[in-house]
A and B are shown apart, each in its own frame.
Chain A
Amino acid sequence: MSIFAIDKFDQNEWFVIIGAVVTYTGLLLLPKRLPTSTTLLLCIWAFTTPKFYDFTLGGGLFDYYDVNDSPRYCIMDLVSYFFFAPFGYFFIYFYEWLRARGRAVVFYILGWSLVAVGVEWLMVYFHVLTYKNGYTIAYSFVIYLFTQSMTLVFYHWLTRPPKQASSDLRTE
């Protein structure tokens, strides 16, 4: 079977497609709060991190789970990363909207990790994810805690003003 081909078009494909439509509609409908390049970079960040996990923990040597119908790389895997991408924007969007700072950040990350676990539970239910080799959703919770903390670090690093403005070279 060729690369990217879908084995069987059923509930997992529909979940990913409908999920992508819903998240991108949300992305377009929310009032603009962040610069466009920040939005783009947050979406690319949220596209890349699950892809990194899927191709490192989900596949390869560890092989803890399959995405969609098989361990093969199919076009719906790519669509599922597009489905994840707006979540990076939503995460920072509500962080700014709620002005979560100080201790509130702990609860904000915990809350979002629970939301992420809920979405993942739905993905397991609709067979977008199939766990293998002893993997459970509890491991994902820890991964979400780490990833969302890193997303906040990434966002603050990205938006921090440069320390020094040279006339020619940028020294950040």
Chain B
Amino acid sequence: MGLTILLTICWLLLTILITYPKKLSRRECVFLFLVILDINISVSWILGYELGKIEISKQTSTYLMYVVYRSVLVPLLPVLCINLLLVCRTFLQKTLPVAGYLVAVWGLETLCIRYKAFTFPDFNMLKELVVAGSYLLIAVLLLKWFRYAFAKEEVGLP
């Protein structure tokens, strides 16, 4: 059941990203998604298997839940959040997508813990939210770099 819910959320978020108007180009979305995915795979492996701070499920369906969360949802949420941040004009408006992003991370982690995709023997939700916040910050910095590096050279590419 947990895997079904998570896959449905994945489908919904991907559909929103693909169909809704967005400020990020295709290249920017892909760049942010892949780099955050790379970082998150390393971070989750180190926290889970090297340091033992996160206990990852040993059952196939819940392990797949963890894989979907780690590999799709975690990199996708900052991309969606940045799209919304770029639409917002005032500081107050910009706080809403950030708050929404943290609430979404909190909700999805609660769902994963509820279905025992992973548990926190030596970690907690606050630390996870700090990690999620760091990903958002990294995504903002990466986007700035990408636009700085390629704005002049490749204007008009999709």
Contacts and interface: CB of A to CB of B under 8 A. Distances in A.
Interface stretch (B56-64, B106-114, B121-129): B56-64
A166 interface: yes
Main secondary structure of the interface of B (DSSP, over half): helix
Given A41-B27, A51-B41, A55-B41, A60 B21 contact: no
Contact of B24 (A45, A48, A60, A170): A170
Contact of B58 (A36, A61, A159, A160): A61
A169 B45 contact: no
Interface residues of B, number: 36
A158 B46 contact: no
Nearest to B86: A169
A152 to B, nearest CB: 15
Nearest to B25: A170
Nearest to B26: A172
Contacts of A47: 34, 38
Nearest to B42: A73
Contacts of B23: 169-170
B10 interface: no
5 contacts: A35-B157, A51-B41, A72-B50, A73-B46, A170-B25
Interface of A: 3, 35-38, 40-41, 44-45, 47-48, 51-52, 55-56, 59-61, 71-73, 157-162, 166, 169-172
